[in-house]
Structure 1
Amino acid sequence: MKLTLSSILASCALLALPAVSAIAAESGADLTKKNNCMSCHGVDKKVIGPAFKDVAKKYKGNADAVALLSKKVKDGGSGVWGPIPMSPNKAVSDADIKVMVEYVLALN
């Protein structure tokens, strides 16, 4: 069998597929469960904090929503949805927070 550059590259690409799928990002829904967001939020009903669908509705059309809400998730805060503060989530990566916020905003 004659090895060509294209056949070598094709073989390498096939070998890399399992590694790529193994490190694929988790979905926003999975991350909200993993990071205990669902302890205080429901998708379509208020628990302690607002329902995710209500958040999506409130920020619909806001071009800065992802950055604004990502900062709120990371640093915590209070006053927007009532007096109960949201705890900061400093241990959650910025990338995971962005995926979760994008998921929430897409529920609109």
Structure 2
Amino acid sequence: MNKYLIICSLIAVASCSKKPIDPNKESNVMLEEPTLKVVDSAAAGKHEGLALIEGADCLTCHKIDAKLVGPSYQDVAAKYTDADIDKLATKIIEGGKGVWGEIPMSPHTGMSKDNAKKMVEYILTMKK
């Protein structure tokens, strides 16, 4: 009986002692969520429209200076003017096809009109 009491006491003491935590050892303890640093595009010297383009899926189909799936941004800028900003922003949101070929541009229905306009304004800065 004494052996049993001694073993239980040792287990209790060992389990209650504080051991240093090894960060490389697996654990089921949740770590603190990393915080994201939000960068102001204008303060970083980047046009807000470019930041929006980079954050969306635009660069999957468009490049600045060469046709990919859709026209290059330089080709779009050469074809349109500031008077077309609303029209092009609507095209980004609703999608479409036929102007640059038969491959349709996917709609971006969750995008706000203001953000689509900022993207168009940036694209129009690329006139050659």
User: Does the TM-score normalized on the shorter chain lie above 0.5?
Assistant: yes
* CA–CA distance in structure 2, aligned partners of residues 101 and 51 of structure 1: 13
Take 2:91 and 2:82, find their aligned partners in 1: how far apart are those partners? Answer: 16
Q: Which runs of 5+ in 2 are unaligned?
A: 1-38
1:28 matched residue in structure 2: 49
Matched, 1:68 2:51: no
Counterpart amino acid of residue 87 in structure 1: S
Instruction: Give the aligned partner of residue 101 of structure 1.
Output: 120
2-structure distance, mates of 1:74, 1:36: 13
Q: Which of 1 and 2 has greater Rg?
A: 2
Alignment of 1:38 onto 2:59: yes
Answer whether contact 2:65 2:72 (CA < 8 A) is retained: yes
Matched to 1:88, the amino acid is P
Q: Within 2, Cα distance between the matches of 1:50 and 1:24?
A: 25
Percent of aligned positions that are identical: 41
Give the CA deviation at 1:103.
0.3
User: 2:74·2:126 contact (CA, 8 Å) conserved in 1?
Assistant: yes
Alpha-carbon deviation of 1:24?
A: 6.8
Give 1:78's aligned amino acid: K
Number of equivalences: 86
The residue number in structure 2 matching 1:16 is: none
Gaps of at least 5 residues in structure 1 are: 1-21
Mapped contact 2:82–2:124 kept (Cα < 8 A): no
Aligned residue for 1:64, secondary structure, equals helix
TM-score for the superposition, normalised by structure 1: 0.72
Change (3 A) 1:107 1:91: same
1:71 partner letter? T
